[in-house]
């Protein structure tokens, strides 16, 4: 059966998020490996840490990368086969690149730490924000961004599913946009608990720092087709992959297009690999003929493997 693996980014983290993988040592070993590379006790963070610690971008991004790889290694350890295609939402694209053999886990950790620090430093806390707009067409969201931005930055950041778009920019513009969205009939418009306005032009400078670190590491073409956020298609050279990662920081995540492109390959099942279940429900909202399953513990994985 053809299926894809999709890897989550920030927003799926929580204390105890790896409890579903505790029966096997491979998950903890992956976290210890990450701790050796970056010098932080990541396993303690996810088992006994605080939500505030996990929510810090400089911690969240390496944690989610590590969690995704721990889950993927667990899948293979349990006898799961490699997927037909890969994609990752925002930060999850780096996890997908490791799963596809384009990046080593060690290098991906270093890149992720650099990415997180650059993003956190790019926009002072309180200056930027993100908001979710639900229940209106993408064109209406784009119109709201144009009308509400005034002299600020305000742009669509994540096209997550039909009727669910996240916007990013200056906080003052976000506040105007939330009010305007409600006036235009949005079912919900809410500012998110994010300290960094990801995937908008406020992160252009941060992307330059990512570019520098990418120049120091080895990137290969993945052994499994990987669909990038920025153009919803695979890259065919290491330089194309680097460009996609750099551009992604200040460009919208075209998640709907990524899922549709993989569905066009004949893929009908999408496994969300990692803690939480943020991406799996989006799959059916994008296309009711598709199935999304969150592989957020060993038992779910075993059942999925038996079903394949």
Catalytic residues: 90, 199
* Helix, strand or coil, per DSSP, at residue 269: strand
Strands 291-295, 269-273: pairing is parallel
- 104: burial class by Cβ within 10 Å (0-12, 13-18, 19+)? middle
* Pairwise CA distance, residues 78 & 72, whole Å: 10
Question: Which pair of tokens denotes residue 217?
Answer: 């590491």
Contacts for 208-212: CB closer than 8 Å, 24+ residues apart: 209/114, 209/117, 209/118, 210/111, 210/114, 210/115, 210/118, 210/245, 210/246, 210/249, 211/242, 211/246
CB of 92 within 8 A of CB of 119?
A: no
């Amino acid at each position: 059966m053809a299926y894809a693996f999709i890897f989550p980014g920030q927003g799926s983290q929580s204390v105890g998020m790896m409890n579903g993988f505790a029966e096997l040592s491979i998950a903890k070993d992956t976290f210890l490996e990450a701790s050796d590379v970056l010098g932080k006790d990541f396993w303690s963070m996810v088992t006994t840490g605080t939500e505030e610690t996990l929510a810090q971008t400089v911690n969240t991004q390496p944690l989610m990368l590590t969690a995704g790889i721990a889950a993927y290694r667990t899948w293979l350890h349990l006898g799961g086969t490699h997927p037909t295609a890969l994609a990752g939402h925002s930060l999850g694209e780096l996890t997908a690149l490791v799963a596809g053999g384009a990046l080593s886990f060690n290098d991906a950790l270093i890149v992720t730490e650099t990415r997180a620090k650059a993003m956190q430093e790019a926009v002072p806390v309180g200056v930027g924000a993100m908001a979710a707009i639900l229940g209106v067409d993408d064109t209406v969201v784009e119109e709201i961004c144009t009308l509400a931005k005034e002299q600020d930055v305000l742009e669509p950041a994540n096209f997550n599913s039909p009727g669910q778009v996240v916007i990013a920019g200056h906080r003052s513009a976000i506040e105007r946009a939330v009010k305007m969205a409600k006036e235009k009939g949005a079912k919900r418009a809410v500012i998110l608990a994010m300290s960094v306005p990801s995937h908008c032009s406020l992160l252009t400078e941060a992307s330059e720092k990512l570019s520098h670190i990418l120049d120091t590491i080895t990137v290969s073409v993945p052994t499994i087709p990987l669909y990038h956020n920025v153009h919803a298609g695979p890259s065919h050279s290491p330089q194309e992959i680097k460009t996609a990662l750099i551009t992604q920081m200040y460009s919208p995540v075209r998640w709907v297009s990524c899922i549709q492109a993989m569905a066009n390959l004949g893929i009908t099942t999408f496994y969300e690999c990692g803690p939480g279940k943020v991406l799996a429900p989006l799959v059916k909202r994008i296309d009711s003929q598709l199935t999304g399953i969150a592989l957020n513990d060993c038992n779910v994985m075993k059942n999925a493997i038996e079903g394949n």
